[in-house]
A = this chain, B = another copy of it.
């Protein structure tokens, strides 16, 4: 079965959620699944590959969470930004992996594709969308990571942080509008 691999990855993510990334040893994951650590290797292939699997899982969850609305691009950009931030708070231990590990997997390029689609619909000229989408991606991942790890200095907390993030998203919209007008 290949859903065994999925089961292992799910349990690994749950473990990281509950006890942090440092607590995720092969042995601890195996115990959660009811196996020995050596039994995991055929399914997930070593710890490094397991971590890549978690990155993939997070990207998938982002895609699932996000209601792929066909509303106007501003609303979709807001929705994407909020989804990224929610993902960070849902998995504070695992989320930093997104920016720290190579985004080679197919589900990783989903984010880029979604972002480019939004910019396209906003009217951003085609030669500008790759760079602008990478910029926004870097901001969203960097911001959410910093919020969840405390890596960004002088970060607010709770409801204030939420309002500030909304204002940031509005600034991103403005950045896109400037790119459109500069055509």
* A143 / chain B contacts, CB cutoff of 8 Å: 134-135, 138-139, 142
- Contact of A32 with B by CB under 8 A: no
Inter-subunit contact B134/A103 (CB<8 Å): no
Instruction: Describe A's contact surface by its main secondary structure.
Output: helix
- Contact of A100 with B by CB under 8 A: yes
Inter-subunit contact B174/A142 (CB<8 Å): no
* A145 / chain B contacts, CB cutoff of 8 Å: 99-100, 142
Interface segment among A2-10, A38-46, A68-76, A152-160: the answer is A152-160
Closest to A116 in B: B154
* A164 / chain B contacts, CB cutoff of 8 Å: 131, 134
* Complex Cα spacing A98 to B142, Å: 11
